Amino acid sequence: MPADRQTDPDAPVTDPSGPDLAGLSASIDRLTDHAHDWSTQRLLDEGLDLVRDACWADAAALFRVGARRAAAVHARPSVRSRRTRPGGVCAPVPDSVDTGWFPWGLAPLAADRFVLIDDARALPADPDGARTLGELGVRSCLHLPLRQRGRTVGALQVFWSEPRLAWDDDRGRLLRTLGRFLLTCDGRVRT
């Protein structure tokens, strides 16, 4: 019998494998509490590590999206750090790409909430197509657009080395909120 049912027999049965949205929300609150104490670099590191942990993902990246360009803000770990993670999954982070290509050449989809790709191995990692996501160790990927006032201002991208067949967008709602917060942190002077 689950622990919560032992103390209160009328308590709902919880699924330990299900999303812990209250825990994720509390972790985001703790992170935002440190916004004034931590450097921008540390906030971005901790924020993207929280995204990875919440999704059981291998890598995550944050992008700022403008009218014509999408620019990488930060990634954990990134292709640039591949030397320290041989054989590991890296977040493909092209410095700046045309919004007509972003993400992964799938721009015509124009998702409002998310795009989950189960088998992303053949998708291009950058616009010139020199590398595929599969060459970077990616099997599945997720694109979470960050929207404010009806327009896309950024995106979180999440990468897995194993197949990911489903996405719980209740978790996505919290992660999109975190992503928008991280974009505001990146807007301040880096220390």
Looking at the domain assignment, is residue 5 inside a domain? no
Mean pLDDT along residues 15-25: 66
Cα–Cα separations (whole angstroms), residue 117 to 19, 85, 145, 164: 20, 24, 14, 8
Domain membership of residue 39 as a residue range: 23-186
Q: Does any domain span residue 92?
A: yes
Q: Which helix (H) or strand (E) holds 62?
A: strand 59-65
Distance separating alpha carbons of residues 56 and 36, to the nearest angstrom: 28
CB neighbour list of residue 107: distance below 8 Å, 6 or more residues apart: 99, 100, 101
CATH of the domain at 173: 3.30.450.40
Q: Total structural domains in the chain?
A: 1
Q: Give percent of the chain with pLDDT exceeding 90.
A: 46
- Among 4-8, 21-25, 37-41, the range of highest mean pLDDT: 37-41
97 within domain boundaries? yes
> Would you say residue 181 lies in a domain?
yes
| 1 domain residue, yes or no | no
Residue 114: alpha-carbon gap to chain centroid: 11
Model pLDDT for residues 55-83, shown as the tens digit of each residue: 999 999 999 999 899 999 999 986 544 44
Name 28's Cβ contacts closer than 8 Å, sequence gap at least 6: 50, 174, 177, 178, 181
The reply to whether 12 falls in a domain is no
Q: Does 8 fall in a domain?
A: no
pTM for the whole structure: 0.82
DSSP designation for 178: H
Whether the CB-CB separation of 165 and 118 falls below 8 Å is answered with yes
Residue 7 forms part of a structural domain: no
Phi, psi of 51 (to 5 degrees): -60, -50
Residue 150 has pLDDT above 60, yes or no: yes
pLDDT given at position 85: 45
Cis bond before residue 103 (omega within 30° of 0)? yes
